[in-house]
């Protein structure tokens, strides 16, 4: 019987050979500290798979047929918010990985990683750390260029207020509307900017020059 608990993994990937390789090699490479307890090649079935097999962590390939890996990540986060999600990809483009992080993934690992190399980052993610390759981290920290978003006068005012750190109540008082209305306006602005939080909106405004004019 192993001295340390087994890390239970689910795999969402439409490449059977890759999945089978993990099933065979991961227990051997980690001294039986990690094992695959479930897998699916259908992104639409990812959330139900996780609900059934109750893993500690899910590996999701981002390059899958529709609805795709990004939506699989988001669905898993909605239905099993305590399960950690790690995105994987064999490509070099950082954008899908960034989208996966926005959808709720706690980390990203290249599919070129050897099984014995996977255990330390997976355990770190399980402990609450975010794990990213250096190139992806640099892409996250790179200043954002002006986004092709056309904001009207009211949206620009709201974005300035958010960037200035004004509360929902303060904005509501200024506009003479309810806090619920401000929350609805803010949610619509975040969707338009393609960000998920007020902090991201403020950062985007500062980096991309969306506060000018």
May I ask the CATH class of domain 7-141?
alpha beta
Query: Which residue in 154, 55, 32, 167 sits closest to 46, CA to CA?
Result: 55
Which residues of the chain does CATH 1.10.10.10 include?
Answer: 153-208
In sequence order, what DSSP letters do the residues of 158-192 get, joined into one string? HHHHHHTT--HHHHHHHHTS-HHHHHHHHHHHHHH
Per-residue pLDDT band for 210 (boundaries 50, 70, 90) equals low
In the predicted model, what is the mean pLDDT of the chain? 85
Cross-strand pairs, 107: 86, 131
Residue 97 in 3-state DSSP? helix
pLDDT of residue 2: 46
pTM as predicted: 0.65
Tell which CATH classification among 1.10.10.10, 3.40.140.10, 1.20.1420.20, 3.10.310.10 matches the domain 153-208.
1.10.10.10
Categorize the per-residue pLDDT at 5 as very low, low, confident or very high, splitting at 50, 70 and 90: low
pLDDT given at position 45? 97
Q: Residue 17: pLDDT above 70?
A: yes
Positions of CATH 3.40.50.2300 in the chain: 7-141
Which of residues 141 and 95 earns the better pLDDT score? 95
From its phi and psi, is residue 39 left (phi > 0), alpha (psi between -120 and 50) or beta? beta
* pLDDT value at 208 more than 70: no
Determine the average pLDDT of the residues in 16-20.
92
Q: Which pLDDT does position 113 carry in this prediction?
A: 82
- Which residues have CB under 8 Å from 131's CB, separation 6+? 86, 106, 107, 108, 109, 121, 124, 125
Give the single-character DSSP code of 43: G
pLDDT 10s digits, 27-68: 988 888 999 999 999 999 999 999 999 999 999 999 999 999
Detail the DSSP E strand segments found in the chain.
Answer: 7-12, 34-40, 57-61, 84-89, 107-110
Peptide bond into 176 cis (omega under 30): no
Per-residue model confidence (pLDDT) at position 140: 65
């Amino acid at each position: 019987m192993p001295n340390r608990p087994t890390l239970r993994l689910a795999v969402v990937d439409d490449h059977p050979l890759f999945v089978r390789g993990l099933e065979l090699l991961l227990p051997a490479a980690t001294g039986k500290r990690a094992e695959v307890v479930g897998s699916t090649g259908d992104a639409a079935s990812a959330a139900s798979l996780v609900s059934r097999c109750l893993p500690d962590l899910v590996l999701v390939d981002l390059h899958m047929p529709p609805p795709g890996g990004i939506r699989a990540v988001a669905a898993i986060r909605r239905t099993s918010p305590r399960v950690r999600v790690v995105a994987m990809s064999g490509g070099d483009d950082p954008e899908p990985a960034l989208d996966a992080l926005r959808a709720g993934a706690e980390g990203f690992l290249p599919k070129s990683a050897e099984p014995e190399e996977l255990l330390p980052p997976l355990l770190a993610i399980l402990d609450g750390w975010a794990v990213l390759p250096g190139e992806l981290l640099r892409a996250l920290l790179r200043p954002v260029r002006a986004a092709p978003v056309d904001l009207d006068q009211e949206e620009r005012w709201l974005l300035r207020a958010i960037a200035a750190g004004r509360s929902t109540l303060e904005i509501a008082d200024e506009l003479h509307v309810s806090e619920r209305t401000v929350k609805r306006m803010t949610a619509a602005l975040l969707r338009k900017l393609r960000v998920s939080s007020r902090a991201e909106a403020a950062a985007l405004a500062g980096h991309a020059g969306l506060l000018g004019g």
